[in-house]
Amino acid sequence: LDGRMFFGSEMLGAAQTFGAGAGMSAGMPHPSMDGYGRPAARLPTSQVEQPKEQRWSPYANNGGTCLALAGDDFCIIAADSRLSQGYSILSRTTSKIAQLTSKCCIASSGCNADQTTLHKLLKFKLQMYQHQHGKELATPGIGQMLATTLYGRRFFPYYTFNVVGGLDSDGTGCVFSYDAVGCFERLKYSVSGTGQALIEPFLDNMVAYKNTDMKPTIDRTCEETLELIKDIFASAGERDIYTGDFVDIHIITKDGTRYEQFPLKKD
Amino acid sequence: SSAIETSAMSITEYNGGGILAMAGKNCVAIASDRRYGVQFQTMATDKNKLYKMHDKLYIGLAGLATDQATFHEKLKFRLAMYSLREERDIKPASFGKLVSTLLYERRFGPYFCEPVIAGLDSANEPYLFASDFIGAPLIPDMDSNGFVVAGTSSEQLFGMCESMWRPGLDPEELFETISQCLLAGSDRDCLAGWGGTVHVICPDKVITRTLRGRMD
């Protein structure tokens, strides 16, 4: 079946032999002529099945939102725990966050397969560093390493939108934000994933106090920031279908990393 | 050399913009950005996207600018005919239905504009309406989410409104809230911005203010 229909072919039947019929030119039958030397009747192009290229894609977007917020002496990394494919939920309790060192966590949204592999690779590289140098790699170093790792796959990228958060060697909170191929920047806060557009302007307003002249004299404490993050994820979960179920929250301070799980709407 | 290049942008992103309406206690506010662009080139920074239908009814149109203009002209004509025949101003709810119908008339060759309507009905209760470009109506539940958004920055505006809106705002609080939502939302959208225009509609007056935000 070549997808083209000819009215003429029904009439030809067994008569479709070379040189059959009066007025036919010798040799191969021409597809636009019926076997009797007349132009074959055709359907209009709009009613004929056109060839369509089908292609398998190595990438899938499994949804989800990741956020990191740095304070003076703490850093909070949060991500929802929903794994989606299309309109279905594959899992409600899949973590997007990996603890890389005692002072650093990474959260990645995008393709779950690439996220798992990337986290595994980073942990391996950090273990090698630990063995060779006798100490953990500091958070800014991890930031740089992730950028080079991502760029190493410039021509078949990891489909992950990463956010690294932790304490630097001075104990100050730091956040690094990445695109899929390793362009990165150190920031005070960053969000990535399907809920990024929903959350980012709110952080601009409430953390960086943009477009306001209400910057308070006292910075938010770790507990107040935690409450803000829970509110943020609740709002994002309302409007983004890929964000919901639970939020995994890692709070990194000089005393170590604390883990909390906050429930969201399951719809 | 001035090469003419087109980028693969959707037709509703050709001009860009963001519209937002919010309800308070016996008042509504409607706001829009002021950018008029052609893909990534900004052409004007004082474009008006909010149109007054009558003292207690405003409509904002997001989407393709030419369709905004044409659709507004159609609405102006229909409203003029209505007030001549009925000898009164149209109710916001009726106007919402009119907008839906006019858009659906063009179901298979639509106007690429998304309307947002804000008004006060005869009891001075707020009325909000939004629709897609073929007229599917959305009238939000005023107790839980008294806001509607449209335009290229709709996701950003949704995120802001979801966090910042609460029921029972008075006109001044409503103005502050809607302004913050509009500015923060359009700051993160390269196709919307260059300040904003806000109308706060109260039973006795309409307060119009222009906002100055990131001028990019």
Read off the DSSP letter of residue A51: P
Whether the complex's predicted ipTM is more than 0.85 is answered with: yes
Pair of tokens at residue A36: 């009797």
The two structure tokens encoding residue A131: 């063995």
Q: Exposed/middle/buried for B108, CB within 10 Å: 0-12, 13-18, 19+? A: exposed
Residue B184 to residue A202, Cβ atoms within 8 A: yes
* Signed CA dihedral, A26, A30, A34, A37: sign only: negative
Residue where the block lists tokens 């969000």: A191
Q: With bands split at pLDDT 50, 70 and 90, how would you rate the model's confidence at A22?
A: very low
pLDDT at A164: 98
Q: Which residues of B touch A (CB under 8 A)?
A: 155-156, 158-160, 162-164, 180, 183-185, 187-188, 213-214
Answer yes or no: are the C-beta atoms of B17 and B156 closer than 8 Å: no
As a whole number of angstroms, the distance between CA A82 and CA A237 comes to 11
Q: Report the pLDDT value the prediction gives residue A5, as an integer from 0 to 100.
A: 46
Of residues A27 and B208, the one with the higher pLDDT is: B208
- CA dist., res. A208 & res. A201, Å (int): 10
- Say yes or no for a CB contact (<8 Å) between B188 and A235: no
Is residue B53 pLDDT above 60, yes or no? yes
Predicted confidence (pLDDT) at residue B36 exceeds the cutoff of 70? yes
- pLDDT the model gives residue A229: 97
- Residues A124 and A166: their CA atoms lie apart, in Å, by 19
Tokens of B158: 């949704």
Question: What is the mean predicted confidence (pLDDT) over A178-183?
Answer: 96
DSSP-based three-state secondary structure for B122: coil
- Mean of the per-residue pLDDT values of chain B: 94
Which residue do the tokens 């790699």 mark? A137
Q: pLDDT tens digits for A7-20?
A: 444 444 444 444 44
Q: Of the candidates A210, A212, A231, which has its C-beta nearest B163's C-beta?
A: A231
User: What's the token pair of residue A193?
Assistant: 């994933």
User: Which whole-number Å values give the CA distances from A221 to A70, A73, A132, A254, B92, in the listed order?
Assistant: 11, 9, 37, 14, 46
**Cβ contact (<8 Å) for A205 and B158?**
no
Q: Are B187 and B179 in contact (CB under 8 A)?
A: no
pTM for this entry: 0.84
Partner residue facing B155 (CB), from A197, A211, A212: A197
Kindly report the number of other CB atoms within 10 A of residue A2's CB atom: 6
Does position A261 have pLDDT exceeding 50, yes or no? yes
- Say which amino acid occupies B18: G
Note the pLDDT tens digit of each residue in A183-211.
999 999 999 999 999 999 999 999 999 99
What is the spatial order of strands in the sheet that A65-70 belongs to? A189-193, A65-70, A74-80, A246-253, A256-263
φ, ψ of residue A161 in degrees (nearest 5): -115, 105
Using a pLDDT cut of 70, give the percent of chain B over it: 96
- Interaxial angle between packed helices B92-105 and B65-86, expressed in degrees from 0 to 180 and rounded to the nearest 10: 130
- Retrieve residue B216's tokens: 């990019």
Rounded to an integer, the average pLDDT of B162-178 is 96
Residues 6+ positions from A189 with CB-CB distance below 8 Å: A67, A68, A69, A70, A175, A203, A207, A208
Chains A & B: contacts with CB separation below 8 Å: 55
Which chain A residues have a beta carbon less than 8 Å from that of B141? none
Asked if B206 and B199 count as a contact pair (C-beta separation under 8 A), the reply is yes
Please report the pLDDT score of residue A15 as a whole number: 44
Amino acid making up residue B40: F
Taking each helix axis as running N to C, give the angle between helix B171-187 and helix A196-206, from 0 to 180 degrees, rounded to the nearest 10.
Answer: 120
Q: How far is A231 from chain B (nearest CA, A)?
A: 8
The structure tokens 């410039």 sit at: A154
In angstroms, rounded to a whole number, what is the distance separating the alpha carbons of residues B72 and B117?
Answer: 12
